Structure 1
Amino acid sequence: MPDHVSAFSRSSAALGMGAALLAMATGRACALPPATTAVPPPAAANAASATPASDPVRLPAPGHGTPDSFADLAARLLPAVVNVSTTEMVRPGDEDDDGDEGDNSPQIPNFPEGSPFEKFFHDFMNRQNSPNAPPRKMQALGSGFIIDPSGIVVTNNHVVRNAEQITVTLQDNTVLKAHLLGHDDRTDLAVLKVDSPRPLPAVPFGDSDHARVGDWVLAIGNPFGLSGTVTAGIISSRGRNIEQGPYDDFIQTDAPINKGNSGGPLFNLHGDVIGINTAIFSPSGGSIGIGFAIPSAEAQGIIEQLRKHGKVSRGWIGVRIQDVTQDIADGLGLKSAHGALIAGVEAKGPAAAAHLQTGDVIVTLDGKDIDGRALPRLVAQLPAGRVAHLGIVRHDHPMNVTITIGALPEEKTDKADGKPAQKAPASGSMAVAGLGFTVGAIDDIARQKYNMPEGQKGVVVTGVTDDSPAAERGLRTGDVITEVQQASVSTPAELKHQIDLVRAQKRRTVLFLVQNSDGLRWVPFPLAESGAHSD
């Protein structure tokens, strides 16, 4: 699990072991490039945009954007925010479903090498992880909030995942048993139901689409089990993609949130929930003022489906897509880096029925401009059976395509056994000069060597030079190039011919459609002056 980003709930009940064990939390990790720019507090942001001294900035008066206190708002909202506690039986060798081994187990503190403390903890952990050790209970904490007086509670899926028992503690310390109505792995949301003899305090959802960068927000939750903690900050950014899933569209906030805040609400100053706190950026495991919340506009529809059906149905068109970068736009001759490039089409999916092709660029959905990152989320919001209209660009020609939205199939759990580790170029291979890799024909020897299916088409990458453009773009031995500039290739000679055609068109970039065990993707390469030659 990366150190700097985590889903931040489920602080262990073993907090008494000291600060060195405060990072005992579970939840899915998500990759995020290191942050390089600090978000200034509101006052600093105002100062940065100040006008010349002759026209000084006038800050809003109290009550008009700069509250004197959040006390009244917090007092009204606190009763609807709950502590979510889970109990799970952990057996030796168990792993999380997502493969994050050891997230449920304590970390050994950094004691001096050879010290008695190091040996004590080492022996203790060995006993705990022994195959003969008995199952043990693991308790964890998170946050949630009530959205219906009848006892409907929203939290994060990673807070309650694998839990055998769930309890909800109200602000007045009332403890209620909860059962899971439904959960959604893709957006990390879950809905619980508690039975209460009296109506419970609830909070409404607000419209996150109208929340602006710089708006004040309040976060309430249970960091490290400290229930009812209120923190304040601003919306630092919108539309963040932290690569946690295909539908990332997070609100970023600098309101301090920590492990145990997962599933807690992010409020605007009207007391409406505009986000559900889900992940933090943190090198140390604590808050550094970069937190991420699922927008209410995305969460509400999912929560309603979970309440009614226990699962989520999503729209699907059956394409594998990627963002159009400037290099890809140059390779396709597009005027701007905009749209979603189709890297693969499911054989029996809606896109195949609508005659979409690999290499098409989807630029609009129902008349609205889209990009590769937004397309899965926007399509997922459409119901199955709905007829949608796509604007595409195919070989420099704009087209309109009508497509019937399908239902997203269940996720497949089977995966490829692995990727080929061969590095030596095959005999008779052809080097693509200036790009740093060699290719060969797909024959019986190549199929056996690289574990390819019988009908595999294209040319196989037989070698990659270190520190070359190919290595920088993640090309590996055993990858298969199926198309060059949207034209199919089945021999090294055809690959060379297509590259020569692109050079003749004076284009700066050539696009390869590359297939490996992860699927298909378009890879742009800068064109070198020299051509390809045979070994």
Structure 2
Amino acid sequence: MPCRRSWPNSRATLVGLVALVLAGCEGANPADSGAQSRTLPPAPPRATGPVPAQSVDASRRTAITTAVERVAPAVVTVQTETVQRVPADFFEYFMGGRSGERRNAGIGSGFVVRNDGVIVTNAHVISGATSVSVAMRDGTTYSAKIVGVDETNDLAVVRIDAKNLPIAPLGRSSDLIVGEWTIAIGNPFGFVLGNNEPSVSVGVVSAVGRNLAGRTEGGGVYIDMIQTDAAINPGNSGGPLVNATGEVIGVNSSIYSPSGGSVGLGFAIPIDRTKRIVEDLLEHGSVRQPWVGIRLETPQVQSAREVASVGAVVARVAPGSPAERAGVRVGDQITAVGNRAVRNPYEWEARLLDLRVGESLTITARRAGRDMPFTLQVADAPEVTAPKVTVLRELQLVTLTDAIRLERGIASNSGALVFKVSDRIRDEIGLQEGDVIAQVGRMRVSSAQDVSTAIDQQGARGPIALVFERNRQYFQTQFTLR
């Protein structure tokens, strides 16, 4: 029961007042102060019983679930098939028997960027494929046509014959915040999981501008990448990396993994670069490779970490190149491209990936202790604008020039660069785009026209032998005109 206590006319001590409050009593001293009695408010009632179901349901919905709902309908499974020539039978092989075929299935991810069937994926997902198909979320499968491939950036565009498809909203990668949420959506180990529903994993932007030269699931060298700890496993390649607002900020491309599974080191191609490449592939079927004509010194270091601090020193300037016309010289140290710093060859290459043919590029270079600005007009790679010679109706050649040699790091002093080649020539003769034909039979060639003339002359007499350079090594092939 509450107690009521009266105070004498003498003033109460502070201690007594505190004691009364702690005891929960009313205190009155009408004679002394005429104060009215005061009562402490009752404690709020404790909640009893279950939390309402609607409150639990509401708490399950987050920015992440909303983002997944926005993008997941546009995520697809990319299925490929490759055909390899193999001995049909062990005993037939030793008896000179015929060859057979082995069909291998592959799988990756992709996402729809236009509702008329345009899909983005990784180049390595469809590399070497003889057929490509795309499975939608509901299991509907379409045959896909390869629109274009950019192996340098590990991106590809395929198209299916479909309309009114859900599309993935594309965001920006230029203003990413380290630590913000990321969501990786794709089809890891798709054949094992047995359906086309995409998997979702969540993490953060671990870093931006990463340069990865080690072992990756994609198998290439990746520059200026987004790093995330959202789990990316084999089969996720080509799927979207999404932010918390449900916009695609990158294309899942590779993982660093000693074991082959995700260890929290995933990498995605920034979406700003992806947009530019997709536009080129849709418009031209290939990417217009920007060229400025600068080759940097090769650093004599032992690890990628050491490369980060060696600087970007110009080793060669191609004759007639945008860099030569702008006044760049051998020995200049490039310190910035636009307003972005350049501290090593990786960062220089990363800046080149953002260029488009026809743009003006401002670089800052240090020469004799002074920082000097240069403005370059970005051009097409020199072989793109060079005159073409068509040989065997399916082989386009370009005469080797100093600019082409510098740009591609070719060892031969003269010859003919293979600019385009058909699948038939590639399979039957073995030539690939980028090879340099240095010799036809016993004759050294110095131009594309030399190759055409020599093939016409020797083809009438029998088999034709070609010597060609690939990756600074020389190979020989032989064929007969039919």
2:148 to 162, 165, 182: 182
Other structure's SS at 1:399 match: strand
Secondary structure of the structure 2 residue equivalent to 1:146: strand
CA contact (8 A) 2:169 2:247 kept: yes
Task: Please state whether the residue corresponding to 1:193 is helix, strand or coil.
Answer: strand
Matched letter for residue 286 of structure 2: K
1:195 counterpart letter in structure 2: D
What SS class does the counterpart of residue 91 from structure 1 fall into?
A: strand
Shift of 1:392: 1.7
Measured after TM superposition, the shift of residue 351 of structure 1 is 2.0
Deviation (angstroms), 1:145: 0.4
Work out whether 1:248 is the aligned partner of 2:213: no
Which of 84, 89, 94 does residue 78 from structure 2 map onto?
84
| SS of alignment partner, residue 308 of structure 1 | helix
Q: Distance in 1 between matches of 2:360 and 2:176?
A: 30
**1:7-29 deviation per Cα after TM superposition (whole angstroms, max 9, x unaligned):** xxxxxxxxxxxxxxxxxxxxxxx
> TM-score under structure 2 normalisation?
0.59
Kindly tell me: are residues 396 and 76 of structure 1, through their superposed partners in 2, closer, same or farther at Cα, counting changes over 3 Å? closer
Q: Specify which of 168, 175, 199 is matched with residue 164 of structure 2.
A: 199
Q: Distance in 1 between matches of 2:362 and 2:211?
A: 26
Counterpart of 1:358 in structure 2 is 330
Measured in 2, the distance between the counterparts of 1:191 and 1:319 equals 30
Measure the CA separation in 2 of the matches of 1:275 and 1:216: 13
Deviation of 1:165 (Å): 1.1
Does the 8 Å contact 1:87/1:137 carry over to 2?
Answer: yes
The 3 A distance-change label for structure 1 pair 354 and 140 is same
| Distance in 1 (alpha carbons) for counterparts of 2:376 and 2:294 | 12
Residue number in structure 2 paired with 1:384: 357
CA distance in 2: counterparts of 1:386 and 1:82, whole angstroms:
35
Does the C-alpha gap of structure 1 residues 240 and 395 become closer, same or farther in structure 2, counting only changes over 3 Å? same
- Distance 1:210-1:380 versus aligned 2 partners, 3 A rule: closer
Q: Amino acid of the residue matched to residue 80 of structure 1?
A: A
CA contact (8 A) 2:67 2:243 kept: no
- Name the residue aligned to 2:392: none
Structure-1 separation of matches of 2:177 and 2:266: 16
Alignment of structure 1 residues 78-157 onto 2, 5 Å: 78-92=72-86, 133-157=99-123
131 and 260 in structure 1: CA distance in 2 versus 1, 3 angstrom threshold: farther
Shift of the alpha carbon at 1:382? Answer: 3.2
Whether contact under 8 Å (1:325, 1:337) holds in the other structure is no
Residue 139 (structure 2) aligns with: 173
Letter in 2 for 1:156: N
Report 1:87-486 matches (<5 A).
Answer: 87-92=81-86, 133-196=99-162, 198-225=163-190, 226=193, 227=196, 228-243=198-213, 248-321=223-296, 340-366=312-338, 368-371=340-343, 372-409=345-382
Deviations 1:31-65 (A, max 9, x none): xxxxxxxxxxxxxxxxxxxxxxxxxxxxxxx9xxx
Distance 2:63 2:244 in 1: 11
Please report the TM-score for the alignment, with normalisation by the length of structure 1: 0.53
How far 1:414 sits from its partner (Å)?
8.9
Q: RMSD of the alignment, in Å?
A: 3.6
Q: How many residues align?
A: 317
Secondary structure of the residue aligned to 1:270 is: coil
AA at the equivalent of 1:187: N
Sort the Cα spacing of 1:254 and 1:359 in 2 relative to 1 into closer, same or farther, 3 A. same
SS in 1 for 2:78: strand
Indicate conservation of the 8 Å contact 2:78/2:135, yes or no.
yes
Cα deviation digits, residues 390-427 of structure 1 (max 9, x gap): 3222222333333332213458889659xxxxxxxxxx
CA distance in 2, matches of 1:415, 1:405: 22
2:71–2:247 CA contact under 8 A, matched in 1: no
How far did residue 148 of structure 1 move? Answer: 1.1
Paired amino acid for 1:269: A
Question: 1:41 aligns to what?
Answer: none
State the one-letter code of the partner of 1:75: E
Q: Is the CA contact (8 Å cut-off) linking 2:123 and 2:149 kept in structure 1?
A: yes
CA spacing shift, 1:365–1:237, aligned 2, 3 Å: closer
Cα gap change, 1:247 to 1:387, in 2 (>3 Å):
farther
Asked if structure 2 preserves the Cα contact closer than 8 Å seen for 1:325 and 1:338, the reply is no
Q: Which residue pairs with 2:477 in the alignment?
A: none
What secondary structure, in the 3-state scheme, does the structure 2 residue paired with 1:211 have? coil
Whichever residue aligns with residue 84 of structure 1, its letter is V
**Conservation of the 8 A alpha-carbon contact between 2:115 and 2:167:** yes
Helix, strand or coil: the match of 2:212?
coil
User: Shift of residue 316 of structure 1?
Assistant: 1.5
3-state DSSP of counterpart to 2:137: coil
Deviations, residues 47-106 of structure 1 (Å, cap 9, x unaligned) = xxxxxxxxxxxxxxx9xxx9757444333322110000011111249xxxxxxxxxxxxx
What SS class does the counterpart of residue 189 from structure 2 fall into?
A: helix
Aligned-partner SS, 1:299: helix
Secondary structure of the 1:74 match is helix
Structure 1 pair 416–92 and aligned structure 2 pair: CA distance change class (3 A): farther
2:164 corresponds to which letter in structure 1?
Answer: P
Percent identity reads: 38
Kindly provide the CA deviation profile for residues 291-343 of structure 1, in whole angstroms up to 9, marking residues without a partner as x.
100011111111111112111113211111259999xxxxxxxxx96852112
Q: Could you give the per-residue CA deviations for residues 86-131 of structure 1, whole angstroms, max 9, x where no partner exists?
A: 11111249xxxxxxxxxxxxxxxxxxxxxxxxxxxxx99x99xx99
1:379/1:140 Cα in 2 relative to 1: closer, same or farther (>3 Å)? Answer: closer
Q: 1 or 2, which has the higher strand percentage?
A: 2
In 1, the alpha carbon distance for the partners of 2:171 and 2:297 equals 32
Q: How many Å apart are 1:363 and its aligned residue?
A: 1.9
* TM-aligned CA distance change 1:200 to 1:134, over 3 Å: same
The structure with more radius of gyration = 2
User: Structure 1 residues 338 and 315 mapped into 2: Cα distance closer, same or farther (>3 Å)?
Assistant: same
Paired with 1:415 and 1:384, the residues of 2 have a C-alpha distance of: 23
- Give the distance between the partners of 1:142 and 1:183, measured in 2 at CA: 15
Q: For structure 1, which runs of at least 5 residues remain unmatched after alignment?
A: 1-61, 94-122, 327-335, 418-515, 519-535
- The verdict on how the C-alpha distance between 1:359 and 1:132 changes in structure 2, with shifts beyond 3 A counting, is farther
Q: What corresponds to 1:107 in structure 2?
A: none
Q: Which amino acid aligns with 1:78?
A: A
Are the aligned partners of 1:315 and 1:381 in contact in 2 as well (CA < 8 Å)?
no
> Matched residue of 2:232: which SS?
coil
Q: Indicate conservation of the 8 Å contact 1:324/1:340, yes or no.
A: no
